[in-house]
């Protein structure tokens, strides 16, 4: 009976007490903060908006890249001529394999022109036809490596900002919290009262900055790790494709 009476009393106090803070209370609390805390929140909001814009752009980019990579590999492995693959490249621009293939194809053409052997149209030369010969397979390999490095740099573009957001924004939020707590203690000293009604508003204002910093940092860190993993997967795919390209070139043009 005593426990039931205590529970009913607690529910009555909760029902008659101050309601939980809603969105309007949060906005009013932010509006009442000091200019320093408002500046900190503005910086964190800018970081958060920019990072989400990069996240959405990267999600679309990697999804398109995965789709075009699968299509390109299918075209490459079914084609009998490098010229057929080259003709399909303009419609598959989202995959980094296009840049790697075109670099190797251009290097082979340059070597054949220098040797006066024409263009490397067939990937498997016809029987009886004069077969062009590569002067340097290592030169083709270097062209593929250089193109793959360039494609990785494109994939990693703007990801540094996500890493910066994930590492910096918690400290910016902590700075706002420290400043807010200092101001709260100054108010306590000025009023000479440690009443909860005096202390709580300043502490709550201070903690908003930490919450905003975590709100900006956590998604940036999660998606940065995810995108880094995708870049590694695409890098491995480019390495495998370069080896496959070199095997065909070595079999048919050396």
pLDDT in tens, 183-214: 777 777 777 666 666 666 667 777 888 889 99
Q: Which residue has the higher pLDDT, 146 or 6?
A: 146
User: What's the chain's average pLDDT?
Assistant: 81
pLDDT of residue 227: 96
CB 173 within 8 A of CB 44: yes
Domains of the chain by residue range: 34-253
Encode pLDDT of 209-236 as tens digits. 888 999 999 999 999 999 999 999 999 9
Name which of 126, 156, 135, 171 is nearest 234 in CA terms: 156
pLDDT higher than threshold 60 for residue 168: yes
39-43, 115-119, 140-144, 190-194: which has the minimum mean pLDDT?
A: 115-119
* Positive or negative: CA dihedral 13, 19, 21, 22: positive
pLDDT of residue 196: 64
Burial class of 6 by CB neighbour count within 10 A (0 to 12, 13 to 18, 19+): exposed
pLDDT of residue 112: 86
């Amino acid at each position: 009976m005593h426990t039931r009476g205590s529970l009913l009393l607690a529910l009555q106090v909760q029902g008659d007490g101050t309601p939980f803070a809603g969105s309007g209370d949060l906005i009013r609390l932010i509006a009442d903060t000091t200019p320093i805390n408002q500046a900190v929140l503005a910086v964190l909001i800018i970081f958060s908006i920019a990072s989400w814009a990069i996240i959405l752009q990267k999600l679309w980019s990697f999804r398109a890249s995965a789709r075009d990579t699968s299509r390109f590999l299918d075209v490459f492995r079914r084609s009998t001529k490098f010229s057929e693959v080259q003709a399909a490249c303009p419609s598959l621009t989202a995959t980094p394999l296009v840049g790697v293939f075109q670099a190797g194809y251009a290097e082979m053409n340059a070597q054949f022109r220098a040797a006066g052997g024409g263009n490397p149209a067939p990937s498997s030369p016809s029987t009886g036809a004069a077969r062009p010969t590569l002067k340097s397979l290592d030169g083709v390999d270097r062209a593929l490596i250089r193109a793959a490095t360039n494609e990785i740099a494109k994939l990693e573009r703007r990801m540094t900002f996500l890493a910066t957001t994930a590492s910096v924004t918690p400290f910016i939020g902590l700075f706002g919290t420290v400043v807010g707590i200092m101001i709260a203690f100054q108010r306590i000293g000025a009023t000479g009262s440690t009443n909860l009604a005096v202390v709580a508003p300043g502490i709550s204002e201070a903690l908003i900055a930490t919450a905003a910093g975590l709100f900006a940092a956590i998604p940036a860190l999660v998606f940065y790790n995810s995108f880094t993993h995708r870049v590694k997967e695409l890098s491995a795919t480019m390495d495998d494709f370069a080896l496959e390209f070199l095997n065909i070139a070595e079999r048919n043009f050396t």
